[in-house]
Structure 1
Amino acid sequence: MKPPSFDQFVTFIYVRDLHISAAFYENLLGLPLVLDQGSCRIYRVAGDAFLGICQRRDAGDPSPSGALILTLVTHDVDEWHRYLTERGVAVEKPPQYNPVYNIYHCFLRDPDGYLVEIQRFLDPAWPAGTGKQ
């Protein structure tokens, strides 16, 4: 069986000061803001590739541990969950709705321990992917 496809890619990083980081990515790098979720701001880097910056919950923690999430965007979150579990992949959090960010997602870890999120944006302001492969 062929795996379902992905439409977009978002790398989320956690920052100490959202306002300072937003100024860096918006003003210095000139990345266009695509979606402001309050504690996270998502910028288009190129095509269907995005960078999300989120306010670190513990602003005093200088370590980068847990400060990165690789997000694969698709409408087929449930199909991916089924595909992965059928192949014995340990899913850290099964598909569920997150009302804070208006998304539907699940989480797993790659072999090196990086957090991988498979997600569908439910916010109508989110730009649909081109679906080109």
Structure 2
Amino acid sequence: MSAPFDQHVTFLYAEDPAPSWRFYEEVLGLPLAQDQGTCRIYAVAPGARAFLGVCRARGPRVTDNPRVQGGAVITFVAQDVEGWHARLKAAGVEIAAAPAFSETYRVTSFFFRDPAGYTLEIQRFERPDWPAPV
């Protein structure tokens, strides 16, 4: 069975989106797919299937806790988790802990925040039942 949707876009909101735009473009190196003025949409994965939009917020964030209803953790899947950790540290991104293996989820990952305060994760699945990228 194929996926029911053709593409996916996650939208994040920032009161001042310019620092976030620079972060996603310059630090993470995401290619700009579309600039809509108050919102920029970036390609996250090859094949024009997954995108991340960063838009001007209409009001302040209610909570910084990503694990409450309405919260979010944005996860980027990559094989070179350790390389991404080193690259982000070298770029001055504040990271609380080094990549670590989670026995519960069988992933290796680390967390950090973007300039608007969103929790981001880079992880590698350490399990054979995760679908390989196409």
- TM-score, length basis structure 1: 0.49
Report which structure shows greater RCO (CA 8 Å, sep ≥6): 1
Higher strand proportion, which one? Answer: 1
Q: Could you tell me the TM-score, scaled by structure 2's length?
A: 0.49
